Amino acid sequence: MGVIEFIKKEYKLILILLFLFLINVFIFQNKMTALYIDFGKEIYLPKAIAQGGVLFKDVLAIFGPFAYLFNALVVKLSGAKLNTFYVVGSFNAFLIICAIYALSREFLSKLTSFAIAFFVLYYCCFVPHVMNFVTPYSYGMVYGLCATLYSALFFVKYLKSEKNVFLYSASFLCGLAAVNKYEFILPFLIIVLFLLLKNRDYLKVLKAFAFFLIMPVFCVTLLFIQGLTLTEFLNYLDIWFKFANSSSMKNYYTGTFYFSVQYFVIALKSFVFSAVFLTVIYMMIKGIDIIAKNKKALSISLYVLAFTLFALSGYVYSKIFTYFVFCSAAMAVFVLAVFKIKEFNKNLPLFFVCIFSLAVGLKSFFFVQINQYGRYFLPLLVISLIILLKEYYFKNTKEIYIKTVVFFLLLLGTVSFAGNLNTLRYLNTKISTPYGTVYKDEASAKVFNTILDTVNKLTAPDDTVVVLQEGLLINFLSGRKADKYNYLIPSLLNLYGEDKVVNQYMSSSPEMFIILTSPNDKALICNGWGYKICGFINKNYRLVQTIKADNLILIFKKM
């Protein structure tokens, strides 16, 4: 089925999803922005590239190049405004919702697919947290996720139809995903594996690999044209490999990519909780079906009553839903798929989606932390879990099972939306600048506005301001340049070399340093690490302002 035919067939539910999506775009605008971490670099770095900086040379980044280059092009065309990124992020997020719906429709009914998309819309996409789909911690993640979802959709279509256009489209999109975030390379290997299992056509594998390489080769070539040298590119790769294999990364991923007894116990408890809760809903719906046979009005009223009761209880216990219900989804998919591995050759599309989803979400295999990477990997895992259970574990009660799934997902989506709206009530104070507006709680907005006022009063528009350890949103909203080393965490500082960073600051001589630290937190700069940098600042800059907030904010001006 082509795109036009699919839209004609499914347009009613797609329009409903679009309508709901646009409402959320309006409600959540300017209210999901993280002030001090991650998102600032996602909007500042493309701006720096649009103004002539070369990625991995003048503009340092760890993630792949596509998102930064693409967003730089958007900035060039539309201007460096917060709303520019919000519009682009929203468009990409809606493409993700459509991909989730379309992929689900390959295996499930319209209503079930809609329920999954509805759940993702409210549970994952529009969330006032940096791990949302619109103003995320990494545009590389959400662009890569979008490409990966469509890659999965096209390869499923290839497995069903054997049309090469679907295979090569899937391979190309895997390459696009990989050049955003390198962990998306693994899903392409799953495509190759299934391609070999299906027909062992090695020439076709080579062609698929050629399509996979198109975007990586294009992006790297573009960087060299812009002025990146081979030495600088190899130096970037060396830093990335060391960063990926650093002990701090291992500590950060303990409980997700690396096994942890503590998190395994939490995941096990969560699995039991979700199983019990789903069983209760399943039995309730089964009871309603028995009671209300041939009595449609009674059936509908009972459903409404049950939904209302569960929504109210869900709202009260929203934290349980938000953090724990799906934290063991990856393990559940893995275990359930292994039990039915004998059916592998009989249903390649189903097993492909399951294994593909595990490859995509490998970072969160042991524990899907919803307020971390789990939010991005959950949609594929949910689709896999639902189709596995439907196909192999509820064969004789599919109708009641599907009703349970639809009810459960609509309930969780509604509960999540209510919880998010409740959070938005506190985001009522404006941080307004010529480059865009952000809404935060009154205390946070007051501090941030004070920082911006100080920057604007004590520096000129073409001055360099360095915010450590993270804080490029300050640079973006004040219109001030940042230094080459503008985003530092301990692992990156170790890789760059602190002496090298200090020498760069000596050479560039920034007009102002803003330090976010705390005497009680060893994880923050000037307290647990970065002593040479802080010594350089104390020696060459004078303290002009101290702001006491959740952390201590120190503002230094060049002597």
pLDDT, tens digit (0-9, with 9 covering 90-100), for 81-108: 999 999 999 999 999 999 999 999 999 9
At 171, the amino acid letter reads: S
Q: Contacts from 339-343 at CB under 8 Å and sequence distance 24+?
A: 340/388, 340/392, 343/392
At residue 495, does pLDDT exceed 90? Answer: no
pLDDT of residue 37: 83
pLDDT of residue 1: 59
Closest CA to 238 of 55, 62, 440, 464: 62
Domains (range + CATH), the chain = 1-245 (no CATH), 434-558 (3.40.190)
The model's pLDDT over 131-167, given as tens digits with 9 standing for 90+, comes to: 899 999 999 999 999 999 999 999 999 999 989 999 9
How far is it, in rounded angstroms, from Cα 384 to Cα 100?
Answer: 11
How far is it, in rounded angstroms, from Cα 435 to Cα 162?
Answer: 49
How far is it, in rounded angstroms, from Cα 30 to Cα 52?
Answer: 28
How far is it, in rounded angstroms, from Cα 411 to Cα 167?
Answer: 36
The model's pLDDT over 377-394, given as tens digits with 9 standing for 90+, comes to: 999 999 998 999 898 888
- Mean of pLDDT over the chain: 86
Q: In which band, very low, low, confident or very high, does the pLDDT at 201 lie, cut at 50, 70 and 90? A: confident
Residue for token pair 């690396």: 258
How far is it, in rounded angstroms, from Cα 435 to Cα 83?
Answer: 9
Q: H helices within 106-201, ranges in order? A: 110-120, 139-161, 164-178, 185-199
b/e sequence 400-419, b meaning 16+ C-beta within 10 Å: bbbbbbbbbbbbbbbbbbeb
What residues are paired with 440 via a beta bridge?
429
pTM for the model: 0.91
Q: Which H or E run includes 454? A: helix 442-458
Tokens of 98: 């459509």
Q: Which one-letter DSSP state was computed for residue 182?
A: G
How far is it, in rounded angstroms, from Cα 330 to Cα 286?
Answer: 27
Residue 490 CA from chain centroid, whole number? 23
Q: Is 462 exposed, middle or buried (0-12, 13-18, 19+ CB in 10 A)?
A: exposed
Closest CA to 369 of 263, 227, 219: 263
CA distances from 165 to 97, 133, 153, 158, 305 (A): 23, 29, 12, 8, 48
How far is it, in rounded angstroms, from Cα 533 to Cα 467?
Answer: 12
Closest CA to 112 of 377, 429, 389: 389
Residue for token pair 């009871």: 287
CA distances from 492 to 248, 270, 479, 529, 554 (A): 10, 34, 25, 12, 22
Strands (E), 276-322: none
User: DSSP secondary structure string, 313-333?
Assistant: HHHHTHHHHHHHTTTTHHHHH
Q: In which band, very low, low, confident or very high, does the pLDDT at 310 lie, cut at 50, 70 and 90? A: low
The model's pLDDT over 243-300, given as tens digits with 9 standing for 90+, comes to: 877 777 777 777 777 778 887 787 777 777 777 777 777 777 777 666 666 555 555 6
* Helices H / strands E in the chain, number of each: 23, 6
Q: H helices within 471-513, ranges in order? A: 472-478, 490-496, 498-508
User: In terms of pLDDT, which residue wins out, 446 or 288?
Assistant: 446
Tokens of 356: 């593909």
Tokens of 531: 């002593």
Q: In which band, very low, low, confident or very high, does the pLDDT at 315 lie, cut at 50, 70 and 90? A: very low
Of 32-46, 139-153, 406-420, the poorest mean pLDDT is in 406-420
The model's pLDDT over 362-377, given as tens digits with 9 standing for 90+, comes to: 888 777 877 778 889 9
For 433, residues 6+ apart whose C-beta sits below 8 A from its C-beta are 452, 477, 478
Pairing relation of β-strands 465-468 and 512-517?
parallel
